[in-house]
Each structure stands twice: as C-alpha cells, then as structure tokens.
Amino acid sequence: MRILERRAAPAEGAAASALSTALAVLAALAAGGLLFLPFGADPFSAYAALFGESFLTWRGLGFTLLKAAPLILIGLGTVVAWRTGFGFLGFEGCVMIGAAAATWVALMVREGQILAGLPFAAFLPLAILASLIAGGLWSGIVGLFKSRFGGNEVITSLMMNYVALLLVQYLVSGPLREPGGLPQSPRLPRETWLPQLFDGMRANAGILIALAAALVVWGLLLRSRIGYEMVVTGLNPRAARFGGVEVGRRQFMAACLAGGLAAMAGMVEVLGLHHRLIDGMSGGVGFVGMVAALLGKLHPLGVVIAATLYAGMTVGADAMQRQAGLPSSIVFMIQSLIVLFILAGEFFRRYRLRLPGRRTASAGEGV
Amino acid sequence: MTPFLSARGIVKRFPGVLANDHVDFDVRSGEIHALLGENGAGKSTLMQIVYGLYGRDAGEILIEGRPLDLRSTRDAIAAGIGMIHQEFMLVRRFSVTENVVLGLKAGGGLRPLDLAGPAREIAELSRRYGLQVDPSARIEHLPVGTQQRVEILKLLYRKAKLLILDEPTAVLTPGEAEALLKVLRTLADQGHAVVIVTHKLHEIMAAADRVTIMRDGRVVGSVKTAGSSEAELARLMVGREVALTARRSTRPAGPSVLRVENLTVGDDQGRRALDGLSLDLREGEILGLAGVDGNGQSELAQALTGLRAAAGGRVLLGARDLTRASPADRRSAGVAYVPADRRHVGSVGALSIAENAILGDQRAYARFGLLDRRRSRSFAAELMERFDIRPRKPEYPAGKLSGGNLQKVQLGRAIASDPRALIVEQPTRGLDVGAVEAVWAELLRLREAGKAILLISAELEEILNLSDRVAVIYEGRIMGEMSAAEADLRRIGLMMAGSHGEEVGHADP
C-alpha cells in the first residue's frame, strides 16, 4: 500500500495553517538541536540561553524589538503586495529610498535650514509622509509597468533594487556627503531621532510605528472594501474583473503601499538606529522581511509574531556566541530550516501519510 | 459468466467523508455499463480506485475472478484497465501516433523512435473499431470528437480490455456524441468492457446495457436498462421523484430590453470570436443560445458584461449604450451575469460564502470604506435559506461547496441584484438532476417576473425545455433563430454543426 496519498481536498483554514507552521518551527528547532551536540552542548540549555536572552532580559528584549520594527514594516508591505497578486521583491530598494527621504527631511531640521526648530511632533508625520511617498513612487514605477504594460514585476522590482542601492551610494558620495568624511551623510540632528521606548532600553518608537502600521494594514486589507477588492484580485483576477474590480488599479495601489511600508522601515532604521544615511545600510533586511511575511502566513498579525521571533533569534544568536561560545551560524541555519519546513508543510496539506498499520485495522472492521 | 472486473466491498474514507461505503460493482466483457450518480455520490472515487489512482481502505478488486494487487495506475494498465478523463491528456503539437506511443518504451535509449510500426498498428486498430483516425494527423488539427477517439486508441494500443470514460459526451456536439456511442458499441461487440460515468439519463437509456446507481457512497441499485426507465433511474439516483421536464406557461414577450447590434469581438489569441452578431432580448422571455462550446458563446457573454472589449458594434440596454461601460457600470445598470466557470470566474474558492455573496456588490456593503460584515453575513444567510444552499454556514469556504450549491450562490446573487437582463452561461453544466431541477425552476420564475434572460447552453435538452426562442451560434455568427414551437433537435443540431439547417426544408426567419 502506498504511504503517501493525495487528500480529497487540501487541508485549508486557519487551524490547519497555524498547526502546520507551529509544527514546522518545532521540527526546525528539533533538527537544529542536533547541531549543538558536536559542541558538547545540551540543546535545551542552548535554546534556553537563546530565547532567554532575547525575550526575557530587558536589554535583549530591547534589541529584539529594535530589530523587529523594520522587519514588521517590510513584512506588512509583502503581505499587501503578495495578497493582491503582485509578486513584488523590491523591498530592499524601497528601504534605501525611504531612508534617503527621511535623511533628507531630517537634515532640513538642522540649524540654518528651512525646517530648523521644527518640533518632533510635527517632524515625525512629515518624515513618515516623505518616506511613504518616496517608497510609494519608487515601487509605483514597477506597479505602473505591470498594470499598464504587463511587465513582469518580479524582474523589474529586483532590478529596481540595484538602482535604489546605487542611487543612495551616489547620494552619500555626492549631494548628501558629510564634508570631508566617509561616504555617508552627516549625522542627523538629535531632535529628529526616534525617542527610546523606555530609559535604558535600546528599543525606540519604531516598534510603535510598526505596530500601528500592522493595525492599519489589518483594517485595510481584511476589513475595508478596497482591501476586499485587493484580496479578491490576488486570489483570482478573473473573478475580480467579474465582480467589477479594476484589477490594474488595485495592483497599482498595492505596489505603492508595499513600497511605502518598506520605505517606512528605512525611515525607522535611519531615525532610530543609524542616525545617518550609510551606503549599504539595509544589509538584506528587505529580503528577511519577506521571509517573516511568509512565516506569518501573509497575515498582518502573523507577520508581527514571525518578525519578532526572527529578530529575537538573531539577537539571541549573538548572545549565545558571546556567552556559551556556540557559533551563531547554527541559529541562522535553524532560521533557514524553519522556512524549508514550512514549505514542506504545504506539501502535507495536499497529501497525507497512511501508515501501513491503519489499513489492516480498517479492513478488519469491513463487511 | 465471470465478470471481467469485480470490485467487492470497496471502502474509501477521506477525513470527514465516507466516499465509498462497501461498494460492489462489476463489469462484464461485451457490455456497456453506465455508472450513474449525483456529484459527490462516490462514482469518480470508485473509478479512480479501480484505475489505481487512489488506494482503498477495504475491499478487493478481481480481474476475471482473480484478485488483483493494485498499487498504482501502472498495475491497472497492465491488468487491462484504461481510463479517459474529461480533459484529454494529449500533446497538441504531436501527431496521433506520437501521442499514442508517448510514455511507452518504443525506441529507448539512443535508438531512434520507430513510428512506422506503431502507425500501421494504429491504422489497423482504427479500421477495426471504426474510429476513423488518421495516425499521421496532428492533434491540434483534429475536432474534439476525434481527439477523444485518439484517447480511445491510446487505451486500445495498450491492450486495454476495460475502458472507463468519465463524462465522455460533455464536450461533444449531439452528432459527435451519437458517433461516440456507436464506437463504444463496436468496442463492446468485439469483447471489450466499457464503463461510462455520467449523469445524462437519456444517454444511458440509449447506449448502456446495464447501469449501476450510486448515492451517498453506496450502490443503491444495478439494473438492466431494458427493464428500466429514465424516471426510475432519476428516482434511484436522487432518492425522490424528480420532474425531468420544466413546465412553462405561454406568455407573450414584452418590449426589447437588451439589444446586440453587429457585435464584433476578438478572442484571447486575437482571432475574431464574434463576427457581426446581432440579438434582441425581450422582457419576460428566455432566449436560448445553442451551440457547441467554443463558438463564441463565452466571448459574447463577456462582451455583454464588459469583461471583453468590443471591436465593433453596439450593446444597448433599453436606450442606453453600454458598449464602452465598465463591468461595474453595467451591473448597476441592470445586467447580471452567471458565468459558466463558477469555480474560477464566478467565485473565489478561498473566501467564505458571505464574502462571495457580495462579490460585485461590494460597494453597497461598504460604510465609510469598511465592509459591513454583519450585513453581508445576514444577506448570505438569507440567500442560503431562500435557495436551500447547504451547508447553511455563511462562513463556509465557497470552494468546498458542491457545484449545485455554488451555482445557487451565483444565481441567487444575480437575482438579488434585481437585474433587468440576466445572462446565464451553461447554468447546469456538471450539476446533478436535483440541482438542475432547482436551477431551471429559478430561471422560469425569473421569466415570470418579467426579466429578460439569455440562456447560453450547449445542452440542447436544456435549451428546448426552457426557451421561448432559440438562436444557434456557430463560429461567432447566428446561424438561425426560431420560436420554441418551430425548434426541433435535428434542425438545431445541423445549425450547431455550421449548416443553415435548410436541409429540412425551413427557411431562415
């Protein structure tokens, strides 16, 4: 008797999806646990150190939230784009564009510039708006190519990443360069920095911005009429057209919003962490954010959880290496294993295992 | 006489469903055996088990009295079992011979493929069974009916003794269907066993020797067609008495509602799908548009509903020119559409019934940009109550509904928008008798309510049962139009095949 059999219908629904994700994470942790053994380390205490550091200490939690904020924002952008059937991969570029826009606005708050003396409460909305618009325009180009000319957004958005990275490189070596210094912008005035969440904690208001964005995206995508049209477009463009949805317009909107959200991640990085525009500062966060969105099953709240978990593992990995001398690369392998196992989980929603014992049992009760 | 194939006590469980519940089924060599049942009755599952696509939880399969160790389709083919699916598995750019030998070890390794031998053998098989297939023809040049015979050839070439055909006439014209049944009879006469899976009662009565009826995963009867009747089969299949003909009142049609003038439309490949087509749809009438699939019916429906741009001509609703209007505008102007592809165009399977019920009407359900979910749910509950849609759960995913229930969602949604003109495309395709009855009754109720209905269907029985007027479409043109009283099967059949139907002595109106 065959061991694998196709299910009559794929297992669907929130419960099946959550269960398969949870099992994938557990399986990845179990498989990853084996990697600790050659070092003579006990996997359980290694995991305790890993998660204890990143979630249970004040300092570690601060770092975790600091790293989670941009991942959440990028993950949300991914949710919006992919749920609308727009296979956008240009988040890395949008992060840089958003960072550049925020830097530009912040530098205008310096002494002698036009926005000098602007209070933070007025500056922050302005910075958010600037990064949203810059990122939205940037990804909107890709969206326009797609909805107007049918250009493949996967390729154009990937290419646009390079353009964005090189554009920022140009900015920090030319127009925005700190006089005499490295290829980076001048340090932003202190009054434009995102405030710390609590005194002595590394996390800043960026995580609040990210959580607010998650709430907005949840409301837009899952509760509003436009979100409904976007979701229908993503699931089935033909049904969307049938339902009077202007598919091209919705995809264009999704593209702009996705880019805008990723650009806000860039803003949070600049105003909260680096405090200046640096060449190559995004460092792949645009791609990790997509992974977080996948782990979060393209649900706004799932993204918050997955991004925080991912950030925590990264933070814990550093601590584990410092304290226990275990290589942090193990943690990155576990992160990759989680992704692999989640993809494998998709397979088991379509197929089921049939253990040979079961068949005999049910055959016995027959006739 | 030992049956060629016997299935004994087959049990098949899927999570939450008992698809086959101790099913016994046998087919003898030399007979055409129909397997009849509503959708979800378990007949496809049974055939897929026999063909080795699914494992079984209990039961055994015997070939000529000997148990068969059936693990995969390869075992089934080796035992002489062959199956033809609804969608043909042919490579369109290959020749008949290439398709027939595809997957067999004809050449192997680096040796060149020998096609001359197989071609001779195929020609011989074709002659022997009256298939009329040219082994060197390319699939893409063959009509659908011939492509189906290529599928039969594939099985014969693999020495199949049992041929299982799943809904074989669904894609054929009446003429082609008749020819197919003749071929099947030849096969049976020469000692093959043939199973046709179908829910078309008249076909079973015309072609099959015996029929096994399934309901809810169980066999409820196995009878000789000679001693049975359509009414008895329908009763066995559904479990209650069913009306197989729709009762129409005679009722004069009102003024014109939807006019199509010289409409020209291209298809996806840029070919001309509609070529100067004109129609006039009047209040309180059902205009049946008959035709073989793919003669421009879908493009017409799409052009009427704004899903496809017109290259020329006009679409008028009353006095209003809708030719350039968007789908949303047409909908609010009063043109409703029930598409043929209810799973991929008319609904979104991953969304709930409630979310599907408002598709197209989502603007009316939004307040300050947010959807009023309580209202959409209560609307869905109302629809489900009124049209008897099961399960009665507005949160149930639409993709898991049966075809009949999904169709009721589509139809109910269109009716609830209170349209002036309703375009229904293949409304009962793939539905079982009970659901067909419900859909027909609903269309006739709408007609009584004074709606103008364009019924696009490839089922002549449906067209003749419901329509006040019948038009026949062929290659994007109307071949002829007649009142229901003048419509007869033969004349319509000829027009569907592209002749003007004048052979029978009528002049076009």
All structural domains of chain A with their residue ranges: 69-319
Percent of chain A with pLDDT over 70: 93
Query: What is the CATH architecture of B256-342+419-504?
Result: 3-Layer(aba) Sandwich (3.40)
Residue B505 scores a pLDDT above 60: no
Identify the pLDDT of residue A355: 58
Q: How far is B417 from chain A (nearest CA, A)?
A: 13
Give residue A10's pLDDT.
Answer: 64
Q: What angle do CA A169, A170, A176 make, to 5 degrees?
A: 95
- What is the residue extent of each domain of chain B? 5-238, 256-342+419-504
pLDDT at B502: 54
CB contact, 8 Å: A224 with chain B?
yes
Query: Chain B contact for A361, CB < 8 A?
Result: no
**C-beta atoms of B57 and A235 within 8 A:** no
Residues of chain A with C-beta less than 8 angstroms from the C-beta of B55: 1-2, 5, 354, 359
Query: Which residues are registered as beta bridge partners of B213?
Result: B36, B221
Taking an 8 Å cut-off on Cβ atoms, the answer to whether A244 and B348 are in contact is no
Q: Work out the pLDDT band at A84, boundaries 50, 70, 90.
A: very high
- Residues 30-69 in A contacting B (C-alpha not used; CB under 8 Å): none
pLDDT digits (tens, 9 = 90+) for B331-378: 999 999 999 889 889 999 999 999 999 999 999 999 999 999 999 999
Q: Average pLDDT, whole number, for chain A?
A: 89
pLDDT tier, A315 (very low <50, low <70, confident <90, very high otherwise): very high
Q: For tokens 């607010």, what's the residue? A: A212
Contact state of A242 with B327 under an 8 Å Cβ cutoff: yes
Q: What length is written for chain A?
A: 367
The question of ipTM being above 0.95 is answered as no
> Measured between alpha carbons, how far is A125 from A127 in angstroms, rounded to an integer?
5
Q: Which CATH architecture has domain B5-238?
A: 3-Layer(aba) Sandwich (3.40)
Alpha-carbon span B239 to B215, nearest angstrom? 8
So what's the pLDDT on residue A123?
96
* The pLDDT of residue B66: 93
Please check whether residue A354 touches B, CB under 8 A: yes
Question: pLDDT: is B155 or B200 the higher one?
Answer: B155
Rounded to whole angstroms, how far apart are CA atoms B411 and B427? 9
Fold of A69-319: ABC transporter involved in vitamin B12 uptake, BtuC (1.10.3470)
DSSP strand E in chain A: where?
4-6, 351-353
Distance (Å, whole) CA B343 – CA A9: 14
Please report the pLDDT score of residue A81 as a whole number: 97
Band the pLDDT of B246: cuts 50, 70, 90.
low
Does residue A19 have a pLDDT over 90? no
Q: What are the pLDDT digits (tens) for A152-164? A: 999 999 999 999 9
SS3 A70: helix
Question: How much is the pLDDT for A364?
Answer: 32
Distance from C-alpha of A235 to C-alpha of A232, rounded to nearest angstrom = 5
**pLDDT (mean) for B228-252:** 78
Three-state DSSP class for B83?
strand
- Alpha-carbon Rg for chain B in angstroms: 24
Considering only CA atoms, which of A204, A198, A167, A241 is closest in space to residue A69? A204
Can you give the pLDDT at residue A1?
47
* B247 — pLDDT class (breaks 50, 70, 90): low
Put the strands of the sheet holding B256-266 in their side by side order: B272-282, B256-266, B312-317, B320-321
Comparing alpha-carbon positions, the chain A residue that sits nearest to B401 is A9
Residue B16: its pLDDT value, please? 74
CB-CB contact of A200 with A61 (8 Å) = no
Q: How far apart are alpha carbons A361 and A177 in whole angstroms? A: 75
Per-residue pLDDT, A269: 96
pLDDT single digits (tens) A173-189 = 988 888 877 889 999 99
Chain-centroid distance of CA A92 in Å reads: 10
Side chain identity at B474, as an amino acid letter? Y
Q: What is the pLDDT of residue B508?
A: 44
Beta bridge partners of B320: B317
The pLDDT tens digits for B133-155 are 999 999 988 888 899 999 999 99
pLDDT digits (tens, 9 = 90+) for B43-58: 888 999 999 988 899 9
Is A13 in the B-facing interface, judged by CB distances under 8 Å?
yes
Give the minimum alpha-carbon distance from A344 to chain B in angstroms, rounded to a whole number.
Answer: 21
The mean pLDDT of A267-285, rounded to a whole number, is 94
* Common-topology check for domains B5-238 and B256-342+419-504: yes
Mean pLDDT value across residues A86-100: 96
pLDDT band at A367 (very low <50, low <70, confident <90, very high): very low
Name the band, by pLDDT with cuts 50, 70 and 90, for residue B459: confident
Backbone angles phi and psi of B505, in degrees to 5: 95, 5
Q: Indicate if the pLDDT at residue A363 is higher than 50.
A: no
Enumerate residues 6+ apart whose C-beta is below 8 A from B8.
B24, B59, B60, B61, B62
pLDDT for residue B504: 45
- B402/B98: higher pLDDT: B98
Work out the average pLDDT over B219-228: 92
| Contacts A–B by Cβ distance under 8 A | 103
Mean pLDDT of chain B: 89
Chain B residues with CB-CB distance to A356 below 8 A: none
Q: How confident is the model at residue B175 (pLDDT cuts 50, 70, 90)?
A: confident
- d(CA B393, CA B377) in angstroms, rounded, equals 9
Please write the tens of the pLDDT for every residue from A262-271: 999 999 999 9
Average the pLDDT over B474-480 and give the result.
92
Top residue of B345, B393, B396, B410 to mutate, by most chain A CBs within 10 Å, is B345
A365 to chain B: closest CA residue: B58
Residue A9 has pLDDT above 70, yes or no: no
Going by C-alpha positions, the residue among B117, B77, B397, B424 that lies closest to residue A13 is B397
Q: How many residues does chain B have?
A: 509
CA separation, residue B296 to residues A211, B34, B345 (Å): 52, 32, 17
Tokens 């646009």 belong to A160
How many Å lie between the alpha carbon of B347 and the closest alpha carbon of chain A? 6
The whole-number pLDDT of residue A3 equals 64
- H or E element in which residue B66 lies: strand B66-67
Cα(B477)–Cα(B313) distance, integer angstroms: 13
CA atoms lying within 13 Å on the CB side of residue B354: 16
| Residue in A with minimal Cα distance to B45 | A8
C-alpha to C-alpha distance for B268 and B310, rounded to whole angstroms: 13
Report whether pLDDT(A226) > 80.
yes
Query: Which residue in A272, A270, A268, A262 sits closest to A104, CA to CA?
Result: A270
- A322 near B CB under 8 A: no
